[in-house]
Amino acid sequence: MAVKLSKTLKEDRNVSGIDSGLEEYEGRYGSGKLGGLGARQKGYRRFTEIYYDLVTDFYEYGWGKSFHFAPRDPRESFKESLVRHERFLATRLGLEPGMLAADLGCGIGGPMMEIARFSGAKIVGININGYQIERARRHAAEAGLSDRVEFLESDFLDVDAPDESFDAVYGIEATCCAPDKVSIYGEAFRLLKPGGHFANYEYILTDRFDASDPQHLQIKADIELGGGLLEIDDQSTVDEALDTVGFEVVETRDLAIQDESSVPWYEPLAGSGISLTGFRRSWPGRWVTRNSLKLMEAVRLAPAGSTRVADTLELCANGLVDAGRLGIFSPMYFIHARKPG
Ligand SMILES: C[S@@+](CC[C@H](N)C(=O)[O-])C[C@H]1O[C@@H](n2cnc3c(N)ncnc32)[C@H](O)[C@@H]1O
């Protein structure tokens, strides 16, 4: 299983730099010369680029083409739950043929391909990471969708597009990477036509998060370091930012709060994994992947540093499961807002 991952790591990228990339990344997160929150926020472009250079193959291997969570009905598969979560945004935005939408932080294109197919709208994926754009273009061509989706390699805080150029703007677990919410929501607002709709799945600390509890603080730090995040904001910071930039809020709701029959969003990381791909995401599967990589690294079949990247991701995965169980964090604070006009 991990052989496939090690081949991807070798074939698709300049892998000579995994070890040094990880060192720079950890230095920027930690307390070194470049480290600390202020420095990380200032250098957010580089911080994000290195992180996604390091982890993209791992994400794609374990998660597929869509890098996000979803609430899941017990009767649906993991993949079906991701698709439903993506279509929910498209429906709320009222996307239809003839409309143009921007996907802020489009990853390797899984959600935007689904949304383009489902709604008939044309989608422009914006992403700062060149390697992800390369993967996204390849996937779109393979899916025969190259005429329905476009890609822009750009910082989503400073998009090279005129004011009011999109009918709709959305983001899926991506605006959490921005250095502050006012800047990223402000850019979404600028890009929208008057009357246009914005929908987003945002990362938040819930009101159960206690900033004086060392366990909560450690979990937050593990998710940030392992997840390429500058800092996770609380819900009120997010709500205030929407107001500050001038959006009319249609609805906000934490979709992590579901009825008891629903499968929790963090279950794919915690569960034992039934299918082959489910096994890869689960903790026993990640253990097998990590130790296979370690072996392959030792005999130079996998690039040096691969195991350390797996360890960094493991920190995040464990933090997410703990945060989910404690209810102190949500990766799916749903925002639906409208630009007046
Ligand atoms: C967790 S991934 C989610 C990807 C995608 N939305 C999905 O659900 O599959 C976060 C994405 O945000 C992108 N991103 C982070 N900061 C960015 C920035 N400043 N400008 C553009 N894209 C950014 C990353 O490169 C990555 O693709």
Here the CATH number for the domain that contains residue 191 is 3.40.50.150
For ligand 1, atom 19, the nearest C-alpha belongs to 155
Name the domain count of the chain: 1
Residue 257 CA to ligand 1 centre (angstroms): 24
Per-residue confidence band for 302, with pLDDT thresholds at 50, 70 and 90: low
The structure's pTM equals: 0.91
The per-residue pLDDT of the chain, averaged, comes to 89
**Among 36-45, 145-154, 325-334, whose mean pLDDT is lowest?**
36-45
Query: What average pLDDT does range 279-304 have in this prediction?
Result: 71
Q: Does residue 40 contact residue 230 with C-beta atoms inside 8 Å?
A: yes
pLDDT at 298 over 80: no
CA-wise closest residue to 9 among 315, 304, 308, 311: 304
Ligand 1 centroid distance, CA of 53 (Å): 12
Instruction: For residue 248, give the 3-state DSSP assignment.
Output: strand
pLDDT greater than 90 at residue 287: no
Residue among 55, 66, 155, 177 whose CB has most ligand 1 atoms within 8 A, to mutate:
177
Range of the domain at 224: 1-341
pLDDT of residue 15: 44
User: Which residues have C-beta within 8 Å of that of residue 88, sequence separation ≥ 6?
Assistant: none
Q: What is the pLDDT of residues 216-264, one digit of tens each?
A: 999 999 999 899 999 999 999 999 999 999 999 999 999 999 988 899 9
For 50-103, how does the pLDDT look when each residue is reduced to its tens digit (9 = 90+)?
889 888 988 898 889 999 999 999 999 999 999 999 999 999 999 999 999 999
Residues 6+ positions from 162 with CB-CB distance below 8 Å: none
